[in-house]
Structure formats: structure tokens, C-alpha cells
């Protein structure tokens, strides 16, 4: 069996995989691969998959699978899998860090202190007692919820496919965001969610919330968000993900002074990369036991 590691994983993973067969990162061996390991960088389009006749399994290290054409995989008999549980803590911690940084003015204080300023007139705000709306209520959102509740926040959530949880689940996305002070996005990218954080949803918000996105960049209409920031309909936007990555220079959120940006590093903790590797190994072991590879 040939296992090809195409994207960045923990350095220990190749050694862990050697017991299963040949492990390589040589892209010239793509046509020889039985198992392909990717993260978010590689786009497994129909065209990419077409010549890969030996490929049996794609494992996406992480949660989102919008970079894999699953219809094309099904037609070619390729199993497309992910590691849904491994990234929850890492991404949740980044989402909560971004949420904490805004009311505490951490970027502002750091920048002004380094300029020799002693600016105590700009006041901080507390998360305590504020309402957080979670859009999507999967593994990551539930970890964010735990942290928010520990800070005394009022947490609600919306997820089309989840019917029960440890916080109130709203009937619609509009109901969830209506009275929110903070909105944390954890949605998959689908035809239904593409650009959902746009002018229509923003029009239902009664406050001027902070929006945090550590899910999928395509779920945000970046032009509409920039306009809402300029018009005071949103107070801040913090994001780890973008409609195209790296974001183009013309991306309207990049030039706003009401934005906090990170370069899609939500899953990039040392601990999480180890967990992803362990989940990949466990997945391959199970597939071998089930004689699927």
C-alpha cells in the first residue's frame, strides 16, 4: 500500500504510518497512491481525481470537506473521510481567543504601547452577561460554548441538523443572531451557507455584534461585512478564514481598522497536529480491518 502525504501534518506521522506500507510525499507518485492524506490546501476536484485510478481513500486531516468533490469520489469508488473530533479544542481556543481580544482591546493596547503611548482612556468591556450566538453546533461550537458559559455568557445556537444540546437551540439563524452581542461561526460551506453572513442576515441584528469566523471563509460575504462595519451595523469582525486563501489584496476586510485577522491557523496547534495524526492512523487501521483497503 502506498500512502501519499500531500499537505502539512505533524513530522511524526510518516513514521507512525510505515507499518502500513510505503509512505511518501513525492507528488510524482500520486498515480501510485492507495491512500491520500490532505488538509485544507489540496483541492480534490474532479479534474484532480480523474487520473488517480489506484486511489481508494482520501483522509482530510481536519473537519471541513468542501475541498473534496465527494460526488466525483463516489463515482470512482473513493472513500472520502475526515478527522472530525481532533480539531475541536484547537479551533475553539482560537475562536475564543479572538472573542476575548476584541472587548479587551488587546491589539490596540499592544500597538499603542509599542509606540510609547500610555492610553488608559479606551475602556475595556466584559464578556460576562453578553449573549453569544453560535452558528453551527458541532464539536467545535460545543467547545466554544463550554468556554463561553464558564465566562458567564448567555449562549444560544442554531444548527439545521441538531435538535438538542446543552444550550437553547433557536428555530432559525435570524432568531439566533437577533439579540446577539457576539456571533461565532462554525458552519460547513454548502450552497445554502455560502455568503450567509451578508446584508440580509445582518439586517436582523438588533445590536452591533462582533462576528468571529473560524469555520469557512466562503460563508461570509466579505463586501457586505465591510459595509456593515463602515456603517456601524457590526462593531468588529475577527476571522481566521477567507473566501480565497491567502486572501487577495483587494479583499475588503483587509483594509478595515475594525478587523482582527489570523492566517487560517485554527487547527495548527502542536497538540492538534498530533491528534490528527493519531486519528489518521486509527482510521487506516479500521479500514484495513474492514478490508476496505
Q: Check the CA dihedral 198-204-208-213 and report its sign.
A: negative
CB neighbours of 186 closer than 8 A, spacing ≥ 6? Answer: 95, 134, 135, 136, 137, 138, 140, 141, 144, 214, 215
245 is catalytic: yes
285 is catalytic: no
204 is catalytic: no
Residue 62 burial (C-beta neighbours within 10 Å; 0-12, 13-18, 19+)? buried
The pair phi, psi for residue 83, each rounded to 5°, is -120, 80
Cα 257 to Cα 195: distance, rounded to the nearest angstrom: 22
With CA atoms as reference, report the closest residue to 184 among 149, 157, 152.
157
Helix axes 88-101, 106-114, angle to 10 degrees: 60
69: how many CB neighbours lie within 10 A of its CB? 20
Give the active site residue among 18, 75, 126, 245.
245
Give the active site residue among 216, 222, 275, 279.
216
Max Cα-Cα span within the chain: 66
98: how many CB neighbours lie within 10 A of its CB? 25
Q: Per DSSP, what are the bridge partners of residue 4?
A: 24, 36
CB neighbours of 225 closer than 8 A, spacing ≥ 6? Answer: 197, 198, 202, 211, 234, 237, 252, 253
The set of cell numbers assigned to 87 is 480539531
H helices then E strands: how many in the chain?
10, 11
Give the active site residue among 143, 264, 275, 279.
264
As annotated, the active-site residues are 216, 245, 264
Amino acid at each position: 500500500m502506498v500512502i501519499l502525504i500531500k499537505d502539512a501534518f505533524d513530522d511524526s506521522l510518516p513514521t507512525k504510518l510505515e507499518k502500513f506500507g510505503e509512505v511518501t510525499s513525492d507528488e510524482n507518485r500520486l498515480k501510485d497512491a492507495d491512500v491520500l492524506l490532505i488538509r485544507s490546501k489540496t483541492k480534490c476536484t474532479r479534474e484532480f481525481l480523474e487520473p488517480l485510478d489506484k486511489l481508494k481513500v482520501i483522509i482530510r486531516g481536519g473537519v471541513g470537506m468542501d475541498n473534496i468533490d465527494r460526488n466525483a469520489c463516489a463515482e470512482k469508488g473513493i472513500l472520502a473521510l475526515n478527522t472530525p473530533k481532533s480539531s475541536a479544542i484547537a479551533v475553539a481556543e482560537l475562536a475564543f481567543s479572538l472573542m476575548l481580544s476584541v472587548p479587551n482591546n488587546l491589539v490596540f493596547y499592544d500597538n499603542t504601547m509599542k509606540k510609547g503611548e500610555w492610553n488608559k482612556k479606551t475602556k475595556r468591556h466584559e464578556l460576562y452577561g453578553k449573549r453569544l450566538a453560535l452558528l453551527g453546533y458541532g464539536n467545535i461550537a460545543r467547545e466554544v460554548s463550554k468556554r463561553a458559559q464558564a465566562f458567564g455568557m448567555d449562549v444560544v445556537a442554531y444548527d439545521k441538523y441538531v435538535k438538542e444540546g446543552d444550550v437553547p437551540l433557536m428555530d432559525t439563524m435570524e432568531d439566533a443572531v437577533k439579540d446577539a452581542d457576539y456571533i461565532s461561526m462554525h458552519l460547513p460551506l454548502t450552497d445554502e451557507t455560502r455568503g450567509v453572513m451578508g446584508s440580509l442576515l445582518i439586517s436582523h441584528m438588533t445590536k452591533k455584534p462582533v462576528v468571529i469566523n473560524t469555520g469557512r471563509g466562503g460563508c461570509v460575504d466579505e463586501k457586505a461585512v465591510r459595509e456593515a462595519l463602515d456603517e456601524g451595523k457590526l462593531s468588529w469582525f475577527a476571522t481566521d478564514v477567507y473566501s480565497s486563501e491567502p486572501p487577495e489584496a483587494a479583499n475588503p476586510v483587509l483594509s478595515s481598522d475594525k478587523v482582527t485577522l489570523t492566517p487560517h491557523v485554527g487547527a495548527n496547534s502542536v497538540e492538534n497536529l498530533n491528534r490528527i495524526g493519531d486519528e489518521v492512523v486509527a482510521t487506516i487501521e479500521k479500514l484495513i480491518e474492514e478490508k476496505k483497503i
